[in-house]
Amino acid sequence: MTVFTETGWAKINLALHVRARRADGYHAIETLFAFVDGGDTLEAVVADTDTLTIDGAFAEGLSAGADNLVLGTLALLRGRYGADRVPPLAIRLTKALPVAAGIGGGSADAAAMARLVRRHFLPELGDAALVRLMTPLGADIAACVTSETCLGVGTGAELSPAPELALGGTPVLLVNPRQPVATGPVFAAWDGTDRGPLFTAADLRAQLFAARNDLQRPAIAQCPAIAEVLTELGGLRPWLARMSGSGATCFALFDALAERDAAALYLKGRRPEWWQMTGALR
């Protein structure tokens, strides 16, 4: 029996500028996506019917029914290409990433499912076509399909590459206070002030230091522990520390693996109740 595997890479927003509320209920944003070389794991085998089993550290409370984006992705691709191309699968999702944490979550898992199906059953399907198919399932999914550093505008689904950043291999520490933060209420609490664009010059890397996450203030209002995480990370002297997405996960980027590992060890001693993950940017 062949077991197919794929990873739902953790997503981080290196910066996220909210520019306006849109008439359709979404927000116009400008964001810089990056991805960590770790995340949730999908395993699948051909079966008689579709099934989804969820395990791992953050499996509790998650639906394994048709409303799960992993099964939704499978149904979408089968509906588009037919049951003769996309067979029933027994899927196991191992949740290593916290839920409602600003690092991709269901979007990363859905994108992983799409890549798994494409690799083994629809090899002719290119990235652009896969992104177009998946985007209606969620704004972050487009970036998660390729899981490469890129710029996102509109709702975050209009993507362009950012090879000049050259961030691959950068050591990263992710920290979450184990408190979920719902995306909708955080966006709803944005104060409506346009504080300016993210993309104002050619040197995107230089802009990272002057950029911001406009959702940080409303997220902290709902989850004050985010401010504690950012204070702790700032004291570890990374070259960049910021909240990702709508929170509560924060990230710190370091120049060297030894610096990252020393920071992780120190923080584990100080705040053992917090979740953390070490890795490198893809």
Residues 228 and 64: their CA atoms lie apart, in Å, by: 34
Among residues 11, 40, 95, 214, the one annotated as catalytic is 11
Active site residue 140: yes
Residues 203 and 195: their CA atoms lie apart, in Å, by: 19
Q: Which amino acid is at 264?
A: A
Residues 8 and 93: their CA atoms lie apart, in Å, by: 10
First to last CA, the chain: 31
Residues 112 and 106: their CA atoms lie apart, in Å, by: 10
Residues 183 and 248: their CA atoms lie apart, in Å, by: 10
For residues 71 and 50, the answer to whether their CB atoms sit within 8 Å is yes
Residues 277 and 58: their CA atoms lie apart, in Å, by: 14
Among residues 40, 140, 191, 214, the one annotated as catalytic is 140
For residues 226 and 177, the answer to whether their CB atoms sit within 8 Å is yes
Residues that are catalytic: 11, 140
